[in-house]
Amino acid sequence: MSFSTRKGTHGTRQPSGPLFRLMNRIMARRIRRRGGQMMGFNALILITVGAKSGAERKNPVGWFPGQDGSYVIVASAMGATGNPGWYYNLAAHPDKVTIEVDGRTIPVTPEQLHGAERDQAWQQITTAAPRFTSYQDKTDRELPVIRLAPRPA
Protein backbone atom coordinates (compact mmCIF):
# COMPACT_ATOMS: atom_id res chain seq x y z
CA MET A 1 0.00 0.00 0.00
CA SER A 2 1.59 3.22 -1.15
CA PHE A 3 0.29 6.67 -0.19
CA SER A 4 2.84 8.70 -2.09
CA THR A 5 1.12 11.64 -3.73
CA ARG A 6 3.01 14.83 -2.96
CA LYS A 7 1.65 18.34 -2.68
CA GLY A 8 1.46 20.16 -6.01
CA THR A 9 2.87 23.54 -6.93
CA HIS A 10 -0.46 25.11 -7.89
CA GLY A 11 -4.17 24.60 -7.38
CA THR A 12 -7.12 26.07 -5.54
CA ARG A 13 -7.14 26.86 -1.83
CA GLN A 14 -7.59 23.93 0.51
CA PRO A 15 -11.15 23.94 1.91
CA SER A 16 -10.81 24.67 5.64
CA GLY A 17 -11.98 26.79 8.53
CA PRO A 18 -15.00 26.82 10.84
CA LEU A 19 -17.56 27.16 8.03
CA PHE A 20 -16.08 24.16 6.20
CA ARG A 21 -16.15 22.06 9.39
CA LEU A 22 -19.77 23.08 10.01
CA MET A 23 -20.71 22.10 6.45
CA ASN A 24 -19.00 18.72 6.93
CA ARG A 25 -21.03 18.08 10.11
CA ILE A 26 -24.26 19.08 8.37
CA MET A 27 -23.51 16.85 5.37
CA ALA A 28 -22.63 13.91 7.66
CA ARG A 29 -25.97 14.27 9.49
CA ARG A 30 -27.80 14.50 6.20
CA ILE A 31 -26.07 11.38 4.86
CA ARG A 32 -27.05 9.47 8.01
CA ARG A 33 -30.69 10.62 7.92
CA ARG A 34 -31.53 10.56 4.23
CA GLY A 35 -29.10 8.05 2.84
CA GLY A 36 -25.87 8.57 1.03
CA GLN A 37 -26.40 11.17 -1.67
CA MET A 38 -24.27 14.31 -1.99
CA MET A 39 -23.85 16.64 -4.95
CA GLY A 40 -25.51 14.13 -7.29
CA PHE A 41 -23.58 10.97 -6.39
CA ASN A 42 -23.21 8.41 -3.62
CA ALA A 43 -21.69 9.61 -0.36
CA LEU A 44 -20.29 7.97 2.74
CA ILE A 45 -18.75 9.15 5.98
CA LEU A 46 -15.04 8.38 6.15
CA ILE A 47 -13.84 7.87 9.72
CA THR A 48 -10.09 8.10 10.26
CA VAL A 49 -7.67 8.71 13.11
CA GLY A 50 -5.71 11.95 12.86
CA ALA A 51 -2.12 11.45 11.66
CA LYS A 52 -0.80 13.98 14.18
CA SER A 53 -3.58 14.38 16.75
CA GLY A 54 -4.71 10.79 17.13
CA ALA A 55 -8.29 12.12 17.32
CA GLU A 56 -11.16 10.59 15.39
CA ARG A 57 -12.01 12.52 12.21
CA LYS A 58 -15.21 12.22 10.17
CA ASN A 59 -15.46 13.46 6.60
CA PRO A 60 -18.28 13.07 4.09
CA VAL A 61 -16.87 11.99 0.73
CA GLY A 62 -18.32 10.86 -2.58
CA TRP A 63 -17.79 7.24 -3.53
CA PHE A 64 -18.00 5.06 -6.59
CA PRO A 65 -18.47 1.28 -6.74
CA GLY A 66 -15.24 -0.68 -6.92
CA GLN A 67 -14.40 -4.31 -7.48
CA ASP A 68 -15.62 -6.97 -5.06
CA GLY A 69 -17.88 -4.67 -3.06
CA SER A 70 -15.23 -2.03 -2.44
CA TYR A 71 -15.73 1.74 -2.39
CA VAL A 72 -13.57 4.07 -4.49
CA ILE A 73 -12.95 7.65 -3.34
CA VAL A 74 -10.86 10.54 -4.66
CA ALA A 75 -8.64 12.79 -2.53
CA SER A 76 -9.44 15.79 -4.71
CA ALA A 77 -9.83 18.61 -2.15
CA MET A 78 -11.66 20.29 -5.08
CA GLY A 79 -8.38 20.71 -6.97
CA ALA A 80 -6.36 22.18 -4.11
CA THR A 81 -2.58 22.31 -4.18
CA GLY A 82 -2.39 19.79 -1.33
CA ASN A 83 -4.10 16.55 -0.47
CA PRO A 84 -6.95 16.64 2.05
CA GLY A 85 -6.01 15.89 5.66
CA TRP A 86 -7.88 12.60 5.60
CA TYR A 87 -5.45 11.32 2.93
CA TYR A 88 -2.58 11.57 5.43
CA ASN A 89 -4.76 10.01 8.13
CA LEU A 90 -5.33 6.97 5.88
CA ALA A 91 -1.59 6.65 5.33
CA ALA A 92 -0.75 7.00 9.05
CA HIS A 93 -3.41 4.64 10.41
CA PRO A 94 -4.69 2.35 7.62
CA ASP A 95 -5.77 -0.27 10.15
CA LYS A 96 -8.14 2.17 11.93
CA VAL A 97 -10.31 3.28 9.02
CA THR A 98 -14.07 2.75 8.96
CA ILE A 99 -16.90 4.08 6.84
CA GLU A 100 -20.57 4.74 7.48
CA VAL A 101 -22.65 3.90 4.45
CA ASP A 102 -26.30 2.88 4.06
CA GLY A 103 -26.80 2.86 7.83
CA ARG A 104 -23.90 0.47 8.44
CA THR A 105 -20.45 0.99 9.93
CA ILE A 106 -17.86 -1.00 7.99
CA PRO A 107 -14.16 -1.43 8.84
CA VAL A 108 -12.15 -0.99 5.63
CA THR A 109 -8.59 -1.24 4.38
CA PRO A 110 -7.50 1.71 2.19
CA GLU A 111 -5.28 1.23 -0.85
CA GLN A 112 -4.14 3.97 -3.23
CA LEU A 113 -4.51 2.87 -6.83
CA HIS A 114 -1.67 3.32 -9.31
CA GLY A 115 -1.02 2.72 -13.01
CA ALA A 116 -3.61 0.93 -15.14
CA GLU A 117 -5.79 0.19 -12.13
CA ARG A 118 -5.97 3.89 -11.28
CA ASP A 119 -6.58 4.82 -14.92
CA GLN A 120 -9.52 2.43 -15.14
CA ALA A 121 -11.05 3.73 -11.90
CA TRP A 122 -10.44 7.35 -12.98
CA GLN A 123 -12.31 6.74 -16.24
CA GLN A 124 -15.27 5.33 -14.29
CA ILE A 125 -15.20 8.28 -11.86
CA THR A 126 -15.00 11.02 -14.50
CA THR A 127 -17.75 9.38 -16.56
CA ALA A 128 -20.06 9.28 -13.54
CA ALA A 129 -19.00 12.68 -12.13
CA PRO A 130 -17.33 14.93 -14.74
CA ARG A 131 -16.58 17.60 -12.09
CA PHE A 132 -13.53 15.54 -11.07
CA THR A 133 -11.95 16.36 -14.44
CA SER A 134 -12.16 20.06 -13.58
CA TYR A 135 -10.63 19.39 -10.15
CA GLN A 136 -7.70 17.62 -11.83
CA ASP A 137 -7.30 20.52 -14.27
CA LYS A 138 -6.90 22.99 -11.38
CA THR A 139 -3.79 21.34 -9.91
CA ASP A 140 -0.58 19.72 -11.05
CA ARG A 141 -0.72 16.89 -8.50
CA GLU A 142 -2.30 13.64 -9.63
CA LEU A 143 -5.49 13.30 -7.62
CA PRO A 144 -5.18 10.16 -5.49
CA VAL A 145 -7.76 7.46 -6.14
CA ILE A 146 -8.28 5.17 -3.17
CA ARG A 147 -10.05 1.84 -2.85
CA LEU A 148 -11.69 1.09 0.50
CA ALA A 149 -12.05 -2.68 0.75
CA PRO A 150 -14.17 -4.13 3.57
CA ARG A 151 -11.94 -5.93 6.07
CA PRO A 152 -12.73 -9.57 6.72
CA ALA A 153 -14.64 -10.15 9.93
Instruction: Give a yes or no: residue 136 inside a domain.
Output: yes
Instruction: Give a yes or no: residue 71 inside a domain.
Output: yes
Instruction: Give a yes or no: residue 96 inside a domain.
Output: yes
CA dist., res. 148 & res. 13, Å (int): 26
CA dist., res. 63 & res. 65, Å (int): 7
Instruction: Give a yes or no: residue 105 inside a domain.
Output: yes
In terms of Cα–Cα distance, which of 153, 60, 75, 58 is closest to 110?
Answer: 75
Encode pLDDT of 111-129 as tens digits: 999 999 999 999 999 999 9
CA dist., res. 89 & res. 67, Å (int): 23
Residue ranges making up the domain that contains 73: 18-150
Give the model's pLDDT for residue 8. Answer: 74
Instruction: Give a yes or no: residue 140 inside a domain.
Output: yes
Instruction: Give a yes or no: residue 4 inside a domain.
Output: no
Q: Strand (E) positions, the chain?
A: 37-38, 41-49, 56-62, 64-65, 71-74, 97-101, 104-112, 145-150
Instruction: Give a yes or no: residue 9 inside a domain.
Output: no
- Residue ranges, the chain, pLDDT below 50: none
Task: Please tell me the total count of domains within the chain.
Answer: 1
Instruction: Give a yes or no: residue 1 inside a domain.
Output: no
